[in-house]
């Protein structure tokens, strides 16, 4: 069967403009942005030209998606969009620590991952951000959250139930839990921005 590459995810198509608007306001002006869990790669292709002169380093845990990201890189034809690397957020050492990009990583972006992965992936992401980001660097997270232990809307509660039915280790995280785990890695909560369809942009800053 013919495999069509690059792939497209409808959710990424819908949320990309609202996310870009926030990234343009919160990302440091230079350096390399490491994207953890790039998925199809379509966000990387859409964001890179809009975020010049920053470099964008896509990465994926699922090997099957690396080809799609490579195809998006070819289509984008920008030297600032770097070839994807395989990266499991849970790993104690990430490939970008072994072979750092030419322009140092100034921010990490992670979209719609921590609820669709075990909690250990979220902890690994926060630990990696704590290790890699320079003082003043940013970690940007996007997705649905519970707040103060409760869902903010019934649709997020339904979504949470469907996630846990697919995998009991998945589920909509509580922002308080994420904030506490981030603090343990030297990351302080900088901004929480309400996004369309009951998602949040959550921005952490690495302390000195
Ligand atoms: C819903 S998709 C989101 C992909 C992309 N960020 C987007 O918005 O289209 C969830 C992604 O999390 C990735 N993922 C799951 N576990 C991971 C882990 N331990 N480390 C890194 N990525 C992981 C999956 O491979 C998948 O690409």
List, for residues 19-64, the tens digit of each pLDDT value.
999 999 999 999 999 999 999 999 999 999 999 999 999 999 999 9
Dist. CA 15–CA 3, nearest whole Å: 25
Q: pLDDT at position 3, please? A: 47
Name every protein residue with a CB atom under 6 angstroms from any ligand 1 atom. Answer: 9, 12, 36-39, 43, 60-62, 65, 88-90, 111-113, 116-117, 121
Mean pLDDT within 67-73: 95
Mean pLDDT within 117-132: 98
Which atom of ligand 1 is found nearest the CA of 89? 20
Bond prior to 194 in cis (omega within 30° of 0)? no
Provide the mean pLDDT of the chain.
96
* pTM reported for the whole predicted model: 0.97
Report domain extents, the chain.
10-206
Q: pLDDT at position 8, please? A: 87
In testing the pocket of ligand 1, which one of 117, 166, 167 has its CB within 8 Å of the most ligand atoms? 117
Q: Which fold has domain 10-206?
A: Rossmann fold (3.40.50)
| pLDDT higher than threshold 60 for residue 126 | yes
Angle at 81 between CA 80 and CA 82, to 5 degrees: 105
| pLDDT higher than threshold 80 for residue 105 | yes
Residues 6+ apart with CB under 8 A from 151: 157, 160, 172
SS3 at position 188? strand
């Amino acid at each position: 069967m013919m495999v069509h590459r690059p792939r497209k995810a409808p959710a990424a198509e819908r949320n990309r403009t609202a996310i870009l608007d926030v990234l343009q306001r919160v990302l440091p002006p230079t350096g390399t942005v490491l994207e953890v869990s790039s998925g199809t790669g379509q966000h990387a292709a859409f964001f890179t030209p809009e975020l010049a002169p920053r470099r964008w380093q896509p990465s994926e845990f699922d090997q099957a998606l690396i080809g799609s990201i490579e195809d998006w890189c070819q289509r984008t034809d920008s030297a600032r969009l770097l070839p994807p690397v395989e990266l499991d957020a849970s790993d104690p050492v990430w490939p970008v620590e072994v072979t750092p990009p030419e322009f140092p990583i100034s921010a990490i972006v992670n979209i719609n991952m921590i609820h669709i992965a075990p909690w250990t992936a979220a902890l690994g992401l926060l630990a990696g951000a704590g290790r890699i980001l320079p003082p003043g660097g940013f970690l940007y997270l996007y997705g649905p959250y519970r707040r103060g232990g409760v869902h903010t809307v019934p649709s997020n509660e339904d979504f949470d139930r469907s996630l846990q039915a697919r995998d009991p280790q998945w589920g909509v995280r509580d922002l308080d839990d994420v904030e506490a785990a981030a603090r343990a890695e030297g990351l302080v909560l900088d901004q929480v921005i309400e996004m369309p369809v009951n998602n949040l942009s959550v921005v952490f800053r690495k302390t000195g």
